[in-house]
Structure 1
Amino acid sequence: MKRAHTMPFGASLLDGGGVLFRYWAPGLARIELEREGAEGALPMLPYADGWHHLEVPEAAAGDRYRFKLPDGLHVPDPASRRNPDDVHGASEVVDPRSYHWHDVEWHGRPWHEAVIYELHIGTFTPEGTFAAAKARLAELAELGFTVIEVMPVADFPGRRGWGYDGVLLFAPDAVYGTPDELKAFVDAAHALGLMVLLDVVYNHFGPEGNYLHAGSPAFFNPAHQTPWGAAINYDGELARTVRDFFVHNALYWVEEFRFDGLRMDAVHAIRDDSDTDIVQEICAALRDGPGRERQIHVVLENDANGSHYLERDADNRPTCATAQWNDDLHHAAHVLVTGERDGYYADYADDAVDSFGVALAQGFVYQGQPSPFRNGEHRGEPSAHLPLAAFVSFLQTHDQVGNRAFGDRISALADPVLLRAAYACLLLSPHAPMLFMGEEYGASTPFLYFCDFGPELAAAVSEGRRAEFGGFAAFKDEAARERIPDPNAESTFLASKLRWEERADGAHAELLSHVRDLLALRRERLMPRLAAHRTGGQHWREGEALRVRWEVGGAAPGRFAQLNLLAHFGTTTIDAPPLAGDLLYTSATDRDAGPTWRLAPGAVCLTLEENPLA
């Protein structure tokens, strides 16, 4: 099976041989095409709406090419499918049909089965390649994960980076491998029953290697200013072509690379006053395109807690996005298990147990109320009416680890007893749970912020990184700030690579076994019932104990059951009334002490109650 996405951008192989080259440059009268190995530059033919094109009969897959602007600047193709020599080099003509797919029978998986593993290709394995990551997928599937979420792979400057500074959005970064090797990674995942989501960045381009300002300044709208300068032009003059560029990018990854969907980074940072904004348009294009043949999912990151993107229709199907990263649950849980209260954690510190309960029961903690951390700004929209699969919830992510000065993982910060309890609450809830690579065994390696910019920008990033932490008490002293790893140093990147051998050692192996057991219980006892889950639950405090109740599918069609959670995050042993229903999981110290259960700190109990109102 061969697959390709047809689009109006970039270089396309012609059926009869040769290549059609296209470049959008409204306002520029002359664009020239340069091909490596060919003599001289060829003027492209201008036509309507700022487009320039040229058919070259002798061109073929593997050819390297650039565009020459009127001022003499040579630029890569903004829609390059491959840039072997990084973002400043020439683009390469790619035959998208060169890969033979084996996943003909793959139609995706329903979202209620999602158990997500977030990974960064460059640090997931020692080799840091698509091929090496592919070889590890079977271990993740066996452990109980059903979704792999890959941090951005669009071509970014240098040989190392998180991927959020990508500038060539159609080109998998060559440091990780070829487009065909990325396709083989996705193909292998599908053979193991794994969905694969790709993280994409549609709110800005990176600061180095973005030549669109020179060749296509209409890509940006100065009427909207962002931390990265003028916003991407989704709603100004000539915006239709810009919107098409991003809609096609989303379709390209899903159709040509067979990704099962996208995770859209920081949609709150997108500036778009259109009646149908770009997030909604992309979701509709995926739903009405590849989504007609297989299950496609879109996950958002949205600090604004915009639940309107997550609405369901009468059949419980998403009308726009499938889910959103749920920072609120992370923040409340982090306060509970670590005691940290600085920065945005202050919004959850007054009663972290209650905040955690709200998040477990209703998704968002902030559903429109004022945020003290944000100086009283109202944040969020109501979410209790949504199914909890609409919330990707977690105890850490690349952000929550990497944005710490030393990349500390939660396993290095938290009370281990309370952390195990938090994992039980997360992995046995109706939420779509996510773990960050290495979290399943409490990896000792940090995940630091790393990049590989040119000298001038590199110095500014290093200085800015250290200055950013100057507001924290621990880094008031300049000598303390100097200990923060330099993002541009290769050693910072190398320190962030996982050590897979740790999985078999001591506490790492114990945590891995705990996660394995929880995921097995979720798969066998909970997952079949989650398809019928449609709305948020209830939570309440009983002394120091937290209780949460959710409605899930019953043993027979058309019936329902209640999933009951009891968790104790206090500091002393307590007695609590028992839960109704069949016991699925417990870490309580004593469940036979008369009319109450005795709960030690960190105790968690879960029961399933059939037909609770019968």
Structure 2
Amino acid sequence: MAPIVQDKEGDVLVDYAFGPIISDGGVEFRLWAPLVKAVSVNIEGCDSRQMERSGDGWHQCLAAGVKPGSRYKFGLPDGLMVPDPASRHQPQDVQGASEVVDLKCFEWTANNWSGRPWEESVIYELHVGSFTPEGTFRAAIEKLAHLAEIGVTAIEIMPVSDFPGRYNWGYDGVLPYAPDSSYGRPEDFMALVDAAHRHCISVFLDVVYNHFGPDGNYLPNYAPLFTEHHKTPWGNGINYDGEGSKAVREFVIQNAIYWIKEFRLDGLRLDAVHAIKDDSEEHLLHELARRAREAAGGRHVHLIVENEDNDSALLTRDEKGRPTCFTAQWNDDVHHVLHIAATGETYGYYQDYADDDGKIGRALAEGFVFQGEHMPYRGESRGKPSAGLPPTAFISFIQNHDQIGNRALGDRMITFRPLEPIKAVTAVYLLSPQIPMLFMGEEWGAREPFPYFCDFDDELNEKVRQGRRKELSRLPGFDAEDALDPTARSTFEMAKLGWSQRDSADAVEMLAFYKSLLTMRHQRIVPLLQRMGAGNASFRHEGHRTAVDWTLAAGSTLHIVANLADQPATNPAPPAGEQIFLLGSVKENMLAPWSVYSSISPARE
């Protein structure tokens, strides 16, 4: 049965249950449509049935004898036929009929799985459609053993909510409860989660609650989904605080709970939360985080945000060091400083991170580089103080879908830079106490690009092409006219990982490099991340050398000393302590170009 939240509005007790409710007697169809007086449910192979309307705008109908597998649409008074906004499966895409699915019939096997502590996380971001040649949930299962072998403990899946067309990054979803049918059925997604848990791998899902895609969203036809009170980059904001907002909030919050409870996900990554506008007494983000954690019971569930505003208030900890709201944030600042070090690129938004190597140390030690300071390229101040947070409140990376896809050709760093700088920045981010995140194929040096791609109708496709050219004209130093056509099938196909390249000599060498780093991380660093305090790091930059020290559990200290430059550093020798990693060579007082030295000093008596 679907989750039901009861709320008393005036003298009316409202049941907020989204999607069909299956029982022995049939299926109860429900639709919140306060803007229309009448709704019918049209079940394939059956007569149209008028739904009963209640005073709170809910329309419902019990269809006796209807079973899972039945397909249906809702009919509006103007003759428009729409899918269920809480559909569990859309076998014929977002414009087609919804299918009744009984998720309770799935037979789970990893029933003893309760998740992993956050500090054990090594995240691997992937896009289901391009992760394998087949581009399906089932095909992804075959790659889990590879991930477990190299030391990955969590996969983060780009959005799967049903989107229009044959291929998409996932951020244009319009039916948030339905995994896109191009990837398989809902049961196939469950099978992927179940298999990941058998490999001791957590599963996080990227979800989008700041906007709906441009095609296939019919909610505004019958419900107050948007509000003119708030504006976002996509137009009017979602109505989280105006008239009728209670049901809109429930629709989104229950969606988060749905993924955690029904699909047994271990966490969510919320896209661009800075664009979620809400003036309610309890912001949607806080309510969602609170209720999602409550729904998880005793399982480990981790909630991640992408937040361009770098609002450290979302990442606060209680007196025991536990997250009070969100677990961690994607740390773009670490990416930017390491990318500049490895490539020398200082175009576009990289300008604000250039010409100051000390920012590398600050990003590693304190999380955010900008903690309220003015950013010239951005044209305004950004961020709040973050030095008081533990490093595990930040997720670091040198690749992700955005930072590759923001380039005109979607090209990866390895295609235009030597291995030495790439290995150096890799060692830095994998051995720091921040939570590392790999992007699919990175571990063997995959050279396939990951450009932006989508598939709409002709009119929307042309708008996307124009918008993409305009967007790229402001981004890191590329001629937008050279950009790939994001709507072409060939653009999507070039993003698919070439798994056959994993066996090449260069790939085997890179895999061994990543595996050795992650083995050291799990064996030597992760145990020291448990019960560590906050505000416990310092950094310094001398010449070409950056040094960061973190005080971890039991008073031990992790040191990283890195020369992220083409020239040798003539600084004092790296600190004493038990060496856990050395990339390059250390001779007397000289740190070689592109060298990284990491060691651990025990607590002082």
> Is the 8 Å Cα contact of residues 323 and 389 (structure 1) preserved in structure 2?
yes
Instruction: Specify which of 594, 599, 602 is matched with residue 591 of structure 2.
Output: 599
**Offset of 1:410 from its aligned partner?**
1.8
* One of 368, 371, 375 as aligned partner of 2:375: 371
Q: For residues 186 and 4 of structure 1, what CA distance do their matches in structure 2 show?
A: 20
C-alpha distance 473-92 of structure 1, shift in aligned 2 (>3 A): closer
Q: Judging changes above 3 Å, is the alpha-carbon distance between structure 1 residues 320 and 462 closer, same or farther for their aligned structure 2 residues?
A: same
- SS of aligned partner of 2:274: helix
Q: Is the Cα contact below 8 Å between 2:163 and 2:175 reproduced in 1?
A: yes
User: Aligned runs of 1:299-318 on 2, under 5 Å?
Assistant: 299-318=304-323
Q: Give 2:568's aligned amino acid.
A: T
**1:102 positional shift:** 1.1
Counterpart of 2:601 in structure 1 is: 609
Aligned to 1:538: 538
TM-score of the aligned structures, taking structure 1 as reference length? 0.94
Matching residue of 1:19 = 27
Residues 1:405 and 2:400 are matched in the alignment: no
Structure-to-structure mapping, 1:240-259, within 5 angstroms: 240-259=246-265
Task: Tell me the distance in 2 between the aligned counterparts of 1:578 and 1:229.
Answer: 52
Taking the aligned partners of 2:421 and 2:243, their CA distance within structure 1 comes to 54
Partner of 1:67: 74
Can you list the C-alpha shifts for 1:65-98, whole angstroms capped at 9, x where unaligned? 0001111100000000111100000001111111
- Offset of 1:208 from its aligned partner? 0.5
Deviation string 1:303-358 (CA, Å, 9 cap, x unpaired) is 0001101000011100000000000110111111111111110010021x211110
Structure 1 segments unaligned to the other structure (5+ residues): 554-558
Matched, 1:88 2:95: yes
Take 1:442 and 1:5, find their aligned partners in 2: how far apart are those partners?
44
What one-letter code is carried by the residue in structure 1 that aligns with 2:497? L
Instruction: For 1:392, give the aligned amino acid.
Output: I
Is residue 86–residue 174 contact of structure 1 (8 Å, CA) maintained in 2? yes
Match of 2:332 in 1: 327
SS of aligned partner of 1:289: helix
Deviations 1:233-274 (A, max 9, x none): 001111111101111000000000000010000000111111
Please say if residues 350 and 476 of structure 2, whose CA atoms lie closer than 8 Å, have aligned partners that are also in contact.
no
For the residue of structure 1 that corresponds to 2:56, the secondary structure is helix
Distance 1:514 1:473 in 2: 29
Shift of 1:107: 0.6
Q: 1:581 to 1:349 in 2, by over 3 A?
A: same
Shift of 1:589: 1.8
Distance in 1 (CA, whole Å) between partners of 2:583 and 2:173 is 45
State the distance in 2 between where 1:114 and 1:208 align: 36
**In 2, are the aligned partners of 1:4 and 1:255 still within 8 Å (CA)?**
no
Higher mean displacement: 410-419 or 319-328: 410-419
Query: Which amino acid in 1 is paired with 2:529?
Result: L
Structure 2 counterpart of 1:556: none
**Contact preservation (8 Å) 2:348, 2:476:** no
User: What is the SS of the residue equivalent to 1:424?
Assistant: helix
Instruction: Please state how far the C-alpha of 1:5 moved relative to its aligned partner.
Output: 4.8
SS at match of 2:73: strand
What secondary structure is seen at the aligned counterpart in 1 of 2:125? Answer: strand
Deviates more, 1:131-140 or 1:534-543: 534-543
Contact 1:13 1:60 in 2 (8 A): no
Distance in 2 of aligned mates of 1:226 and 1:604: 42
Q: Report what 1:489 is aligned to.
A: 488
1:289 positional shift = 1.9
Alignment of 1:88-167 (within 5 A): 88-167=95-174
Residues 147, 421 of structure 1: CA spacing in aligned structure 2 closer, same or farther, 3 A cutoff?
A: same
Which moved further from structure 2: 439-448 or 197-206? 439-448
Match of 1:552 in 2: 552
1:294 to 293, 299, 302: 299
1:556-575 matches, within 5 Å, as: 559-575=554-570
Distance in structure 1 (CA, Å) of the matches to 2:325 and 2:442? 30
**CA–CA distance in 1 between the matches of 2:217 and 2:195?**
33
Instruction: Name the amino acid aligned to 1:301.
Output: E
How far 1:509 sits from its partner (Å)?
2.3
Q: Give 1:475 deviation, angstroms.
A: 5.8
Q: Determine if the alignment matches structure 1 residue 347 to structure 2 residue 355.
A: no
Q: What code does the residue aligned with 1:271 have?
A: K
Q: For residue 61 of structure 2, what is the aligned residue in structure 1?
A: 54
What amino acid does structure 2 have at the position aligned with 1:266?
A: A
What is the CA-CA distance between 1:48 and the residue it aligns to?
A: 2.8
Residue identity over aligned pairs, in percent, reads 48
Partner SS for 1:517: helix
Shift of 1:573: 1.9
Quick one: which amino acid aligns to residue 29 of structure 2?
A: F
> Offset of 1:570 from its aligned partner?
2.6
2 CA distance for matches of 1:473 and 1:26?
46
Query: Following the alignment from structure 2 to structure 1, what is the Cα–Cα distance between the partners of residues 204 and 476?
Result: 38
Residue 470 of structure 1: CA displacement?
Answer: 3.8
1:4: Cα distance to partner? 6.7
Aligned to 2:9: none
Structure 1 residues 111-166: Cα deviation after superposition (integer angstroms, max 9, x where no partner): 00010000000000000000000110111011101010000000000110000000
Superposed, which structure 2 residues align to 1:471-510 within 5 Å?
Answer: 481=481, 483-510=482-509
Residues 227-238 of structure 1 mapped to structure 2, 5 A cutoff? 227-238=233-244
Q: Does the Cα contact within 8 Å between 1:4 and 1:96 map onto a contact in 2?
A: no
Following the alignment from structure 1 to structure 2, what is the Cα–Cα distance between the partners of residues 471 and 419? Answer: 26
**1:262 aligned residue:** 268
The amino acid that maps onto 1:322 is T
3-state DSSP of counterpart to 1:320: coil
Report the number of matched residues: 593
**Structure 1 residues 470 and 314, CA, compared in 2 at 3 Å: closer, same or farther?**
closer
What amino acid sits opposite 1:140 in the alignment? Answer: L
Moved more, 511-520 or 458-467: 458-467
Q: Take 1:226 and 1:11, find their aligned partners in 2: how far apart are those partners? A: 28
Give the direction of change, closer, same or farther, for the CA distance of 1:36–1:462 in structure 2 (3 Å limit). same
Q: 1:472 Cα shift? A: 6.7
2-structure distance, mates of 1:392, 1:425 = 13
Q: Secondary structure at the match of 2:182?
A: coil
281-290 or 181-190, larger mean C-alpha shift: 281-290
**Distance in 1 between the 2:226 and 2:491 partners?**
33
- Give deviations 1:193-231, integer Å, cap 9, x for gaps: 100000000000000001111122x11111112222211
> What residue in structure 1 maps to residue 231 of structure 2?
225
Q: What's the counterpart of residue 579 of structure 2?
A: 583
Farther off after superposition, 439-448 or 527-536: 527-536
Is the Cα contact below 8 Å between 1:389 and 1:432 reproduced in 2? Answer: yes
Evaluate the alpha carbon distance shift between residue 414 and residue 532 of structure 1 in structure 2; reply closer, same or farther with a 3 A threshold.
Answer: farther
Deviation at 1:448, TM superposition (A): 1.0
Deviation at 1:473, TM superposition (A): 9.5
Q: 1:34 aligns with which of 32, 39, 42?
A: 42
The reply to whether residue 463 of structure 1 matches residue 466 of structure 2 is yes
> What is the alpha-carbon distance in structure 2 between the residues aligned to residue 36 and residue 53 of structure 1?
18
1:17/1:60 contact within 8 Å kept: no
Map of 1:437 onto structure 2: 440
Q: Per the alignment, do residues 4 and 528 of structure 1 end up closer, same or farther by CA in structure 2, a change over 3 Å counting?
A: farther
Q: 1:122·1:160 contact (CA, 8 Å) conserved in 2?
A: yes
**CA–CA separation in structure 2 for the residues paired with 1:158 and 1:568:** 47
The alignment yields a C-alpha RMSD, in angstroms, of 1.5
Q: 1:433 to 1:586 in 2, by over 3 A?
A: same
1:159–1:452 Cα contact (<8 Å) kept: yes
Counterpart residue type for residue 507 of structure 1? D
The CA distance in 2 between the partners of 1:400 and 1:30, in whole Å, is 47
Report how far residue 585 of structure 1 moved: 0.8
In terms of mean alpha carbon deviation, does 279-288 or 483-492 score higher?
Answer: 483-492
